Amino acid sequence: MSGGHDSSAQRAEDTEVVPVPAAAQQGRRRLVRVDDGDARVLGLVPATEPDMPSLRRQRDELRARIAAGRSDAVRRQHSNGKLTARERLGLLLDEDSFVELEPYRRHRSDGPGLAANRPHTDGVVAGSGTIDGRQVFVYAQDFTVFGGSLGEAHAAKIHKILDLAIANGAPVIGLNDSGGARIQEGVLALDGYGGIFRRQVEASGVVPQISVILGPCAGGAAYSPALADFTFMVRDTARMYLTGPDVVEAVSGRRVTHEELGGADVHGSRSGVATVVHDDEETCLADVRYLVSLLPSNYLEVPPATAATGAKNDHRPRLAELVPVEHNRPYDMREVFAEVVDDGEFFELHEGWARNVLCALARIDGRVAGLVGNQPAVFAGVLDGPAAQKAARFVRFCDAFGIPLVSFVDVPGFLPGVEQEQGGIIRQGAQLLHAYCEATVPRIQVIVRKAYGGAYIVMDSRSIGTDLSLAWPTNQIAVMGAEGAVNVLHRRELAAAADPAALRARLVADYTREYLNPHYAAERGLVDDIIDPADTRAAVARGLAMLQDKRKPGPARKHGNQPI
């Protein structure tokens, strides 16, 4: 810049003043020069000052009407035993934390019955809030508006929530209460569902996804909960299916109720779609809050930890009393879980489905861990197809979000039978095998009693990559039990013996002593340590501390091909 030159004056001289037509001068706005510090610009400002208090009052009144909803529709919702969308969000989120997005959104459709009926929100309340101070993104379908049906605008709001959740690395929670696709909007409604599903797949393994079914969830909408990591349902009011009772009757001639076809208990105990089932909305939403407290916000963060509980030096003599020495006597593996985890508290998933295997989230010495355990109280803890799928899904979730895995093994093998083989138990068992082999999080195996055959291998054995294998003195690791092994190995001798029973007893004792003793696997490096059952909690806590900085990058590839 040359000395002595008045640059501001020069700019003022160079500024072109645009003549304003008389008609424009008589309008609502006038052209003026606005002084912005050293810069001078031309701008349009209102000809008269707005009445801001009046505008605020109008806005607040409209927001209040939107939040209140139609009184008759709200009464119907309550009479059906259901809360409103906003009441549900009030229970789910921290007080006064909800920030609503697009409350004024309305549909643009001119379909039958829609042109003159354009309510705000378009049937879904969406935004962000906090749970125990941690951010989450949420949407709650509003059955009082168009029966919560999904149209173009409705879907666009859910798309935005999913996009924001991914971009901000925060969990996303959907509260479902919808009659399905809005028929009048046709393909736009279907396109809206497709956009939701695509974003859910993009979010998979990036942020936790929780779906809560609090009313109908029918047709294509049912795929959204199926894509989520966790699905909650409430008895009597929640129902989920692809085709309703009327269609089922028309096609098959079989008459079923909504509850029989897709109620909470059906999905909680038979289909396995529901992760958790509750009797009422209040306890359901309280459990969702508790689940969030156990999860990281995204795959780059560690799960929220609490203060250490002294687990590394904790001695639990009761553990030795809980598990019978006799390998054919049942017990409840949940009691073992309770002795190992902090405060005896764990969050069990799929409690009513595939009950012969347990999956749970808990804290051990303040840190979150995923627990998998065979359940000897149900089918002797044998693995079948559903149990393998249940455990595989859980293992993959824990691995995706950096949650260490502790597997408690007491398994006699895979369930034999024609139905199992024809039903795909090979494929289903391979899913669990694939999930464990693929997992790079810290992994600890605890062999409580028996571990036979292929089921031992897939329950996170040393051969498929567990980091630490611990065994109780009662452990028996073998291809099969002593009785079965003797029958195979000594079939001819037994057939020719004068006293087959006595010979069998002697051979079983010999096989047990030689191959089923607790040191056989340890001597061969397949078990790291044989521990006192009372020291299990301490040993697991020390193991998790040892492995907390584990880093194991996966192989260079696009992705594996899981045996689905």
DSSP string spanning 462-501?
GGGT-SEEEE-TT-EEESS-HHHHHHHHTHHHHHH-SSHH
Range 305-330 average pLDDT: 95
**Buried (b) or exposed (e) across 270-295, using 16+ Cβ within 10 A?**
eebbbbbbbeebeebbebbbebbbbb
Nearest to 276 by CA among 238, 239, 235, 232: 232
The backbone torsions φ and ψ at residue 44, rounded to the nearest 5 degrees and listed phi first, read -105, 130
d(CA 221, CA 231): 13
Note if 366 is an active site residue. no
Of 474, 473, 432, 422, nearest to 456 by C-alpha is 432
- For 166, left (φ over 0), alpha (ψ -120 to 50), or beta? alpha
List of residues 6+ apart from 190 with CB closer than 8 A: 181, 220
pLDDT band at 55 (very low <50, low <70, confident <90, very high): confident
Phi-psi domain of 81 (left: phi exceeds 0; alpha: psi -120 through 50; beta: other): left
pLDDT attached to residue 20 = 47
How big is the chain by its Cα radius of gyration, in Å?
A: 31
Contact of 322 with 331, CB cutoff 8 Å = yes
Categorize the per-residue pLDDT at 12 as very low, low, confident or very high, splitting at 50, 70 and 90.
very low
* Catalytic status, residue 311: no
Token digits for 114? 């829609």
Q: Is residue 197 within 8 Å of 158, Cβ to Cβ? A: no
Among the options 203, 439, 455, 541, which is catalytic?
Answer: 455
Structural domain 311-475+518-547, CATH architecture: Alpha-Beta Complex (3.90)
Coil, strand or helix at 552: coil
Q: Please return the burial class of 517, using the count of CB atoms within 10 Å of its CB with bins 0-12, 13-18 and 19+.
A: middle
Q: Please list, in sequence order, all residues whose beta carbon lies within 8 angstroms of the beta carbon of residue 55, skipping any fewer than 6 positions away.
A: none
217: part of which helix (H) or strand (E)?
strand 209-218
Higher pLDDT, 530 or 37: 530
Q: Could you say which of 111, 169, 220, 424 is catalytic?
A: 220
Residue 124 has pLDDT above 90, yes or no: yes
Could you tell me if residue 257 is left (phi over 0), alpha (psi between -120 and 50 degrees) or otherwise beta?
beta
Both tokens of residue 331? 């017990």
pLDDT score, position 149: 94
Is 194 known to be catalytic?
no
Looking at residue 428, what is its pLDDT? 96
Widest CA span in the chain? 125
Task: Considering only residues 517 and 386, tell me which one the structure prediction assigns the higher pLDDT.
Answer: 386
For the entire predicted model, the pTM comes to 0.88
Is the model more confident about 491 or about 299?
299
Task: Please confirm, yes or no, whether 127 is among the known catalytic residues.
Answer: no
The answer to whether 562 and 434 are in contact (CB under 8 A) is yes
Closest CA to 282 of 223, 245, 237: 237
Using alpha carbons, list the distances in angstroms from residue 344 to 116, 316, 334, 340. 58, 12, 10, 7
Percent of the chain beyond pLDDT 70? 91
- 244-263 mean pLDDT: 94
Task: Determine contact, residues 375/409, Cβ cutoff 8 Å.
Answer: no
pLDDT at 33: 53
User: Is residue 93's pLDDT more than 60?
Assistant: yes
Domains 68-294 and 311-475+518-547 share a fold: yes
Question: Does the structure show a pLDDT above 80 at 381?
Answer: yes
Q: How many alpha carbons fall within 13 Å on the CB side of residue 521?
A: 27
Catalytic residue among 90, 402, 424, 454: 454
**Distance separating alpha carbons of residues 528 and 522, to the nearest angstrom:** 6
The highest-level CATH class for domain 68-294 is alpha beta
Q: What pLDDT digit, counting tens, does each position of 183-194 carry?
A: 999 999 999 999
Residues 215, 219, 263, 381: which is the catalytic one? 219
Rounded to a whole number of angstroms, the distance between the first and last alpha carbons of the chain is: 71
pLDDT of residue 541 exceeding 60: yes
Task: Kindly state the DSSP code that residue 221 receives in the 8-state scheme.
Answer: G
Q: Would you call 53 exposed, middle or buried from its count of C-beta atoms within 10 A (0-12, 13-18, 19+)? A: exposed
Tell me: pLDDT of 245 over 50. yes
Domain assignments of the chain as residue spans, ordered by start: 68-294, 311-475+518-547
Contact 137, 128 (CB under 8 A): yes
Length of the chain measured in residues: 564
Q: For 428-460, how does the pLDDT look when each residue is reduced to its tens digit (9 = 90+)?
A: 999 999 999 999 999 999 999 999 999 999 999
8 A C-beta contact, residue 207 and residue 298: yes
- Residue 300 burial by Cβ neighbours in a 10 Å radius (0-12, 13-18, 19+): exposed
CA distance 532 to 538: 10
Mean pLDDT, the chain, rounded, equals: 91
The predicted model gives 80-85 an average pLDDT of 96
